[in-house]
Amino acid sequence: MATTLTRRGLGAAAAGLTLFFSLSPAGAQTALPGSLQTNRRLDAWLRISADGTVTVFTGKVEIGQGAVTALLQMAAEELDVAPARIRMVSGDTALTPDEGFTAGSQSMEYGGTALRYAAAEARAILLDLAAGKLGVPAASLTVSDGAIAAPGGAGTTYWAVAQANSLRREATASVAPKPPGQHRIVGTSLPRLDIPAKVTGGAIYVQDMRLPGMLFGRVARPPSYGAKLVSVDLDAVRAMPGVVAVVRDGRFLGLVAEREEQAVKARLALQAAARWEVPAALPDPARLHEDLRARKTDDTIASEKRGDAPAVARRLSASFTKRYIAHASIGPSAAVAHYAADGSSVHVWSHSQGVFPLQRDLVRVLKLSPAAVVVSHAQNAGCYGHNGADDAALDAALLARAVPGRPVKLQWMRDDEFQWEPYNPAMEMALSAGLSAEGRIVEWTHEVWSNHHNNRPLNPKEGSNLLASWHLAEPHPPVYPRALPQPAGSGDRNAVPLYDFPNQKVVFHLIPEAPLRTSALRTLGAYGNVFAVESFMDELAAAAGADPVAFRLAHLKDARARAVIEAAVKLAAEDQGELPRGIGFARYKNLSAYVCCIAEVALDRDSGAVRVPRVWSAVDAGQVITPDGLLNQIEGGIIQAVSWTVKEDLPFDVKGILAKDWSRYPILGFAEVPKLRTAVLNRPDEKPLGAGEASQGPAGAAVANALARALGKRVRALPYTAERVKAAMA
Amino acid sequence: MPAPITLQVNGREATVTAEPDTPLLYILRNDLELNGAKFGCGLGQCGACTVLVEGQPVPSCVTELQAVVGRPVTTLEGLGTPDNLHKLQRAFIAEQAAQCGYCIGGMIMEAKALLDRNAEPTDPEIREALSAHLCRCGTHNRIVAAVQRAVKEG
Ligand code: FES
Ligand code: FES
């Protein structure tokens, strides 16, 4: 790999940046691209070492989505070094840039963009140093895997010219990253860095950490959110074999033992020793949506548009619902915490998606100084959003505080995760539309009711969103963030249609008070809203006597949107089949990747069971960094969404959550997962877009539309479990 | 203090001091420092902790230590190492058959038992063999493709 310097710096991208920068007010900080804006030093991102290695620091973390490998590719590309030279350090409050959360499919866009600019600039700095040393113009140098060559045969290397302070400066973003036509590493399917260890038993998950003298922790949570601890006898538990400490602080109960099985047994004893008063405080599950609708709302208008249009000839309206969904990670949350022997500081290893925001909540709850709390990321099973990761980190710290000097590995049991993780909220979507005499949509309204979709730790001045902090004798109040506004949105994410309607109104009724704990699950509200929008589009197409695909295209100007719909339709047409099919389309957040899915449904009329044998899809995620990684994300998202759609409904009654294990929360298994075919529309000249959340909405909607065809009747309430479909057939 | 118990894991003898009813999973992970078997549910429902006992796949989370005395145990580490991969491990890497990867160790062990009794399983036979294993990331089809690749490449 050899490239010359002249390719850089002078293209349209650089011109655009100059314009952009000149707009920033005099005296203000220059606006820098991506996460460079908030982490402005080059040496915060990169280290070039004399031993021929490159260290890349990223605030983004690996949660099974392949992000860290994709980021490595971007850095290797801009530096012109072989990927094998790069060591990635990710998500560590002591070592890496603070990039907030690894969420919202933004790692490529923010973290990747920052790395690209930082690496391109680092390369230019190193070439300037080499040019000085070799006495030739920098523009005449070429680089191949860090080896720098001058015309005539002279040469040096990055490792020889880099000084300790070479990158100790503020980034300027003045060196434009390579144009896509010159990419050699980006756009290839570099094998994921983490997979070899994952298939051979390497130490890679937080559960695989073993520190000298480490103890094992477990928590014994209340039986429900509002349960009051009447009494608990800790002495019997303290006397059990191996038990080192039992912690009670308010209604937070936990223990630490020498061996893991001793901790598990002691937890059972602690649960048995505690007497609780359990109020009947949750809604009647049969009247969930009525209950939510009766609560106070904060209303915002997500979109409003008025324009000239033909008269309404026919009006339709329909109301759609979805229930609570669990993240249901295969590995329950876990953490390791280690207090210094004098109790003055703590190091926590967590699979949090945001080690920096978590650290700030921990500082407050543990009453330590910011410098005394370090949080390092370590993987766990996929989380798909805000699961129990952050909560487990605080649990581990509270237990480790009781045994200063000894590390504690805290593992939630299966029931801890099912009972206490924050669920994806139940939602209701009420849609209405007016069709003209020619069968075009001339009016559209969409109202959505939902609890908050994001209750992550977020560093306010007071309060905390860590579970145990609410149960302490001195409880911290939970903090409700402001809902993310449009265009990204939260509960109203993708409620604003991408279709072109002359008149539209979209209203978000945020219900602040949540009977069940809720927070971010992949897509936030987009899964529910796309289900509603795309179901309703099919209903309107039928009312207009139009083909659902042609009807969508007739209302859609966006060329990339049209292209993915056409590509998915074409792909599906290649495979024959008798089963009814349905379509679902969305551009995630109306800002990110475009996906269209076509699903087929097999309905068992006796039981009501819905199977989805095949799904065809097309995706446009802009420039593709790792084709195989993109497919893995899109296809995984489809399977998870099919599971949500035909299986998942978190069971609860007025006294608490009824799911304690997989028997009450079944998910899609091998016999049921659809076979998938996916077309990727690569757009090398568009910016790369995350894809971890792009396919769920379209996949769910495609199943809904296929089922409507199979039944000859529309079911507007998710999920499509056998009992519910059977009831709808009656 | 319980009496020491000797077991055979991955072709070696190991002696541990633990209660006889201790779940094998904790012995493997904590005493023998083997990471391949994962804690997923502790209830025999998800398959993440699967190991082979006398060649048969079992959930180690609900298998007691005393039940494997004198019966050879094989974990993911016993199949191959990064430098000397088993054909299934090689195939899982080639297919990039993991997202978070937490379920994968159990999947590979189940697939190993399958291939030992049926050298050329069909797609439905592979799915049937893996049906007790949960994967939340939706990696199922790649896992099946990886098993098929291992069959083909032998
Ligand atoms: S952890 Fe053993 S089956 Fe789930
Ligand atoms: S790859 Fe994540 S659970 Fe299977």
Domain containing residue B126? 87-153
pLDDT at A266 over 80: yes
Choose the weakest-confidence range: A64-78, A503-517, A568-582: A64-78
Name the residue with higher pLDDT: A92 or A63: A92
Per-residue pLDDT at A214: 98
State the pTM of this model.
0.93
Nearest residue by C-alpha to atom 4 in ligand 2: B135
A640–B39 CB contact, under 8 Å: no
Contact in structure between A35 and A19 (CB atoms under 8 Å): no
Identify which of B35, B43, B63, B107 to mutate to test ligand 1's pocket (most ligand atoms within 8 A of the CB): B43
Per-residue pLDDT at A109: 78
Smallest CA–CA distance, residue B21 to chain A, in Å, is 9
pLDDT band at A101 (very low <50, low <70, confident <90, very high): confident
Smallest CA–CA distance, residue A200 to chain B, in Å, is 6
Q: Which residue, of B78, B102, B120, is where some domain finishes?
A: B78
Percent of chain A whose pLDDT exceeds 90: 86
Q: B9, B27, B136, B144: which to substitute to probe chain A, counting the most A Cβ within 10 Å?
A: B136
Report how many domains make up chain B: 2
Are B99 and B74 members of one domain? no
pLDDT band at A690 (very low <50, low <70, confident <90, very high): confident
Separation of A245 CA from ligand 1 center, angstroms?
A: 27
pLDDT tens-digit map of A640-665: 999 999 999 999 999 999 999 999 99
Ligand 2 pocket, residue A330 CB under 6 Å: yes
Helix axes A696-711, A627-646, angle to 10 degrees: 40
Residues 6+ apart with CB under 8 A from A211: A336, A338, A407
Q: Residue B122 is part of a domain; what is its CATH number?
A: 1.10.150.120
Dihedral of the CA atoms A587, A593, A598, A601 (nearest 10)? -90
Are B74 and B91 members of one domain? no
Nearest CB to B80; choose among A195, A200, A379:
A200
Q: Note the residue count of chain B.
A: 154
A199–B136 CB contact, under 8 Å: no
Which ligand has its closest atom nearest to the C-alpha of B98?
A: 2
Are B131 and B110 members of one domain? yes
Are B60 and B97 members of one domain? no
Ranges of residues in chain B with a pLDDT under 70 are none
Nearest CB to B137; choose among A203, A205, A382:
A382
Give, in order, the Cα–Cα distances in Å from A543 to each of A311, A430, A539, A547, A682: 16, 18, 6, 10, 36
Nearest CB to B141; choose among A201, A380, A675:
A675
Q: Residue B70 is part of a domain; what is its CATH number?
A: 3.10.20.30
d(CA A516, CA A453): 12
Atom of ligand 1 nearest to the CA of B134: 4
Domains annotated on chain A, with CATH: 4-191 (3.30.365.10), 206-278+327-420 (3.30.365.10), 295-324+423-454+490-729 (3.30.365.10)
| Residue A409 DSSP class | E
Are B22 and B60 members of one domain? yes
Contact in structure between A116 and A32 (CB atoms under 8 Å): no
Burial class (CB in 10 A: 0-12, 13-18, 19+), A611: middle
d(CA A504, CA A147): 58
Atom of ligand 2 nearest to the CA of B138: 4
Q: Which residue, of B35, B54, B78, is where some domain finishes?
A: B78
Nearest residue by C-alpha to atom 3 in ligand 2: B135
| Residues in contact with ligand 1 (CB, 6 Å cut-off) | B 39-42, 44-49, 59, 61
Smallest CA–CA distance, residue A678 to chain B, in Å, is 13
Give the mean pLDDT of chain A. Answer: 93
Are B70 and B112 members of one domain? no
CA end-to-end span of chain B, whole Å? 47
pLDDT band at A13 (very low <50, low <70, confident <90, very high): very low
Are B62 and B119 members of one domain? no
pLDDT band at A20 (very low <50, low <70, confident <90, very high): very low
Are B39 and B96 members of one domain? no
Are B32 and B93 members of one domain? no
Contact in structure between A219 and A410 (CB atoms under 8 Å): yes
B101–A663 CB contact, under 8 Å: no
Cβ-based contacts of B104 with chain A (< 8 Å): 198-199
d(CA A228, CA A225): 9
Give, in order, the Cα–Cα distances in Å from A347 to each of A253, A350, A362, A400, A683: 21, 10, 11, 10, 43
Are B66 and B128 members of one domain? no
Are B99 and B123 members of one domain? yes
What average pLDDT does the segment A418-433 reach?
98
pLDDT at A99 over 50: yes
Chain B 53-112, residues with CB within 8 Å of chain A CB atoms: 75-77, 80-82, 85, 89, 92-93, 96, 98-105, 108
Per-residue pLDDT at A23: 33
Q: Which residue, of B43, B78, B113, is where some domain finishes?
A: B78
pLDDT band at A17 (very low <50, low <70, confident <90, very high): very low
Percent of chain A whose pLDDT exceeds 70: 96
Per-residue pLDDT at B154: 79
pLDDT tens-digit map of A123-153: 999 999 999 999 999 999 999 999 999 998 9
Instruction: Strand A86-90: give its sheet, edge to edge.
Output: A46-48, A54-58, A86-90
Are B24 and B45 members of one domain? yes
Contact in structure between A303 and A501 (CB atoms under 8 Å): no
